[in-house]
Structure 1
C-alpha cells in the first residue's frame, strides 16, 4: 500500500493545468480511482470472511457480547462432600460447564452443577471421571443474583482430590449453539 507522501507525489506529477489554476474538482476522479483500486485489492481477503459470517448468521449463532465465569474448586478430604455456592453476576444464560478430575480420581469423585432449585449438569445424578477435563455446552437461562451451586462428593476412602467445575455465563443476546 502506498504511503501518503507517495500519493501526494502522484497527484503533483499528474495534475493538469486546469487543476493548477484552482479547479479542485477536476482531479477528484483520479483520487477516487486510487481509493477504489485500494479497496479492490483487499476484496479477495474480505470475501471469505463475509461468507463465514453469512454461514454463522444462517446457523443462528451470535457471539455473546459479554461473558463471566464462576469457578468452583475444592480439595476434598477422603469421604468428604461439599456444596459450593456463588451468585450469578449477570442476566443471561449458562452456555457451558467445564469440569476437571485429576489422575487418581478413578470415578470416585462425583460432581453436579445447578442454579436455584434446578440441577442441570447432569440432569440427574452425578458425573464422575478420572484424568479428564471435559467442557459440556448447555443453555440455561439465569437471572442476576440467582444462586449457582456445585455439589462435590469424594467417595475415595484413602485419598484427597482437588476437583473443579467452571460455569460460563453469557449475556442473552441471541441463540447459542
Structure 2
C-alpha cells in the first residue's frame, strides 16, 4: 500500500513539473516572438491581456491534469462553488461601452441574465461573452434588445479563472440613459 502512495505522489509531481515546463516554454515562445517592450504603446495593453489569457489557460490545463491524476488515484479534488458576476452600467444616450470583470472561477458559465428596465423600448442592445467568445447571443456582432424584461439564458460555456467576462451595451435612445444589468452565473473551482 505504501508503494502505491509513493507512485501517486511521484506521478503528481512529475505531471505538475511537466505541465509547468510546458507552460513556461509556451510563455517564453510567446514573449520571444513579440516582446511587450517592442510593441507600440497603443498595442501593449492588448498584447499583455492576450499573454495573460494564454497563461491563465495554461494554468487551467495544469490544474485540470492534476485533478485528473487525483481522481484516478481516488484522492479528493477541489470542491466546486457557484458565484455570480454582475456587470452593471448606466449607459448615457447614444453611448456604446464594453465593461468587463475577471472570472473568479475556472469552470463553466451556467446562465446569463440580462435586465432591460421599462423605457428601453428595444433601443438598448446588449451582448455578453468572455475573452473573444460571444455567448449571448452566440452570433458575433448580434445583440439582444428588449423592454421591461429580465430573460435568463442557460448555457454551458467553459471559462478560466481570470479570463475577462464582458458585456457590450449600445444605447440607440437619443434622449434617455438606461441602467442595464448582466449577471453571469459560474460553477467551478477557485
Normalised-by-shorter TM-score class:
0.5 to 0.7
After superposition, what is the alpha-carbon deviation per residue over 1:43-66, rounded to whole angstroms, capped at 9, x for unaligned?
xxxxxxxxxxxxxxxxxxxxx941
Root mean square deviation, CA, Å: 1.3
After superposition, residues 55-70 of structure 1 pair within 5 angstroms as 65-70=80-85
Please say if 1:154 is aligned against 2:186.
no
TM-score normalised to the size of structure 2?
0.56
1:29 aligned residue: none
2:98 aligned residue: 83
1:31 aligned residue: none
Q: Which runs of 4+ in 1 moved over 6 A?
A: none
1:116 & 1:103 partners in 2: Cα distance? 30
After superposition, what is the alpha-carbon deviation per residue over 1:10-60, rounded to whole angstroms, capped at 9, x for unaligned?
xxxxxxxxxxxxxxxxxxxxxxxxxxxxxxxxxxxxxxxxxxxxxxxxxxx
Which of 93, 98, 101 aligns to 2:113? It is: 98
1:115 & 1:129 partners in 2: Cα distance? 22
1:74 Cα deviation after fit: 0.7
- Matched position secondary structure for 1:145: coil
Which of 1 and 2 has greater Rg?
A: 1
Aligned residues: 109
Please say if 1:132 is aligned against 2:149.
yes
Gaps of 5+ in 1: 1-63, 173-177
After superposition, residues 6-85 of structure 1 pair within 5 angstroms as 65-85=80-100
Which of 91, 99, 107 aligns to 2:122? It is: 107
- Matched position secondary structure for 1:165: strand
1:147 & 1:75 partners in 2: Cα distance? 20
1:131 & 1:73 partners in 2: Cα distance? 16
Higher helix share: 2
